[in-house]
A and B are shown apart, each in its own frame.
Chain A
Amino acid sequence: MHQTDKFIRALEELAASYAEVDYQQRGYHVEVMLTGDQLRRFAKLMYELEYYLVFVSAVHAAPALEGRYQFAHFDVRSRILARVPVGDDGSLPTISDIFQGANWHERETRDFFGIVYRDHPYLEPLILPETSVDLKPLLKDEQQLKNLEEICWPPAAEEEGETSADQEKS
């Protein structure tokens, strides 16, 4: 797990909170909680560490929409999931200049959730037609909307206290 160690050291420099999770249970190695400001620096870091972009997506759960980014590595077994709460203005910075593949993923997420990606070169509908810009089909209505804390895994009590505190915060 050399790569993951290197990655975690870099994360600490970024002052992002993270949790190592059980791969057998969740299918990825590290969960990272970011703020909107850290996102672009984080993406640059992932590119420098030679990760590739698996997907960009989002989930609508109270209190706010949350962007989810997954990265993996071609040479070593390391899969990272990053979670970024969307700001009050419903926007996130784009990472499509760092990972060009994010261009389409961000356009798709905007189709489905209405998240606006700042400085995106061409934020036009991709999957849905131009006439359905306001459809946002994956947003939940009031009755369906669940609290994010309810749908998170219960934080493992044995691990560092910092981790569980962070999960409650988000």
Chain B
Amino acid sequence: MPEPCRPDSKPHRFFLNMGPQHPSTHGVLRVILEMDGEYVVDPQPVLGYGHRMHEKMAECRPWPQFLPNTGRMDYAAALPYNHGYVALIERLAGIEVPLRAEYIRVITSELNRIASHLLWFGALLLDLGAFTPILYSFDDREQILDILEDITGSRLTYCYFRVGGVSKDIDDKFVERTRAFIKRLRGRFPMYEKLVNGNIIFIKRVEDIGIIDADMCRRYGATGPVIRGAGVPYDIRKSEPYSVYPEFDFEIPVGSKGDSMDRFLVRFQEMEQSLRIIEQALDKLPEGPFMAKVPKKLKLPAGDANFSVEAARGELAYYLISDGSDVPYRLKIRVPSYSNLSLLPEMCRGMLLSDLVAAMGSLDLVIPEIDR
């Protein structure tokens, strides 16, 4: 950080309050910034404005009634949250899921991941002052929301997966529309690249900004595109495969430096990989039931179990301790953005305020999931 250039040469520090209603915090996050001129000396996030105590709610009701809560943490990519919870209960209770249901879960989860990345893509550029890209990305995202609305019944906070399967089977119309969407989005990527990826103003805003290396990720527990941007190909879908992910051929995009540009490119390439997974899953989609026979009242055996899935922002882990009844004794929900945000003070010390907005945008934060 350069020396302050004032006649008395004393440091002139002041505090700046960013949020909880600041547009670039995407939700109610407040960051108290200690500033020296335009340089950030110490950014401290303040959490809890949207706290709902999901973990307590889980302890107060039979496990099936917690399902709607899972879609209300990360509202931008709710289906992976559905997936983690139902898979955890299936692991504890030893329930076999029909193959068709697993395929439907993967297809819809990946569609949701793309929708989430498109939202982030538009919002990051909006933070950086580019208004146009969000109009294009929301146009594409709208297609996914329409497709998912038809089968899940909702557009945002999905509660579609059930223990033992999914609530509704997909039909030919869904397959047809999804295929059309894959074709459409593939056609749009070159446009995005022309519009954004090669734009010199954009490159100058994100390159070498907010460098996070693998050791820092380890110390903070940062996962998802943050660790992949740092060059480590860590993806729960590959490293601890769940559902039918092992049956698909897809790559894990990685960065090299771990700056905001790398994280941007990783998410961008992930959309293409998700399209590949959906395409293969549609080709191989088996016939059969979409729901296993699960007793209405099901007691979970005493003991603990963990289930980790790759949510759109990183590792989501549900850790449940059961006492043998149908009400969980304790449910810990480990959300990716929580750990990803906790490295903000170390990452942004000494940065320009405008760079902090770019670096924070590249973390892809969803505040309701942090506050839970």
Contacts and interface: CB of A to CB of B under 8 A. Distances in A.
Contacts of B91: 24-27
A99 B91 CA distance: 30
Contacts of A129: 48
Interface string A33-55: 00000000000000100111111
B217 A52 contact: yes
B334 A55 contact: yes
A114 to B, nearest CB: 14
Interface in A69-91: 70, 72, 74-75, 77, 79, 81
A11 B323 CA distance: 29
Interface residues of A, number: 43
Given A28-B306, A54-B315, A151 B55 contact: no
B234 A74 contact: yes
Interface in A94-127: 98-101, 103-104, 112, 125-127
A63 interface: no
Interface in B80-113: 88, 91
B221 interface: yes
B341 to A, nearest CB: 8
A100 B324 CA distance: 35
A146 to B, nearest CB: 5
Contacts of A137: 53, 56
Given A146-B329, A151-B321, A112 B55 contact: yes
B302 A150 contact: yes
Q: Counting chain B CB atoms within 10 Å of each CB, which of A24, A128, A137, A151 scores highest?
A: A151
Given A74-B227, A146-B329, A68 B319 contact: yes
B304 A26 contact: yes
B6 interface: no
A153 B47 CA distance: 36
A138 B321 CA distance: 13
A59 interface: yes
Contacts of A151: 302-304, 321-324, 329
A2 B355 CA distance: 42
A116 B144 CA distance: 46
B84 to A, nearest CB: 10
A54 B372 CA distance: 17
B80 to A, nearest CB: 16
A55 B319 contact: yes
Given A57-B319, A68-B332, A101-B342, A52 B306 contact: no
Contacts of A57: 319, 332
A162 B70 CA distance: 39
A79 B339 CA distance: 17
Interface residues of B, number: 47
A157 interface: no
B116 interface: no
A79 B47 contact: no
Contacts of A52: 217-219, 221, 223
B234 A101 contact: no
B324 A77 contact: no
A152 interface: yes
Interface string B5-30: 00000000000000000000000000
A149 B372 CA distance: 30
A137 B52 CA distance: 12
A115 to B, nearest CB: 14
Contacts of A99: 218-221
Contact of A77 (B51, B218, B227, B240): B240
Given A51-B218, A70-B306, A152-B302, A100 B343 contact: yes
B239 interface: yes
Nearest to B88: A27
B358 interface: no
A150 B334 CA distance: 25
Interface in B124-159: none
Given A52-B217, A54-B315, A26 B324 contact: no
In the A-B complex, the 4 residue pairs with the smallest Cβ-Cβ separation, listed nearest first, are A27-B306, A153-B303, A101-B220, A101-B221
12 contacts: A26-B305, A57-B319, A68-B332, A70-B334, A75-B232, A98-B219, A104-B342, A127-B372, A137-B53, A137-B56, A146-B323, A152-B303
Given A55-B332, A70-B306, 6 more contacts: A52-B221, A100-B343, A127-B372, A137-B56, A150-B324, A152-B303
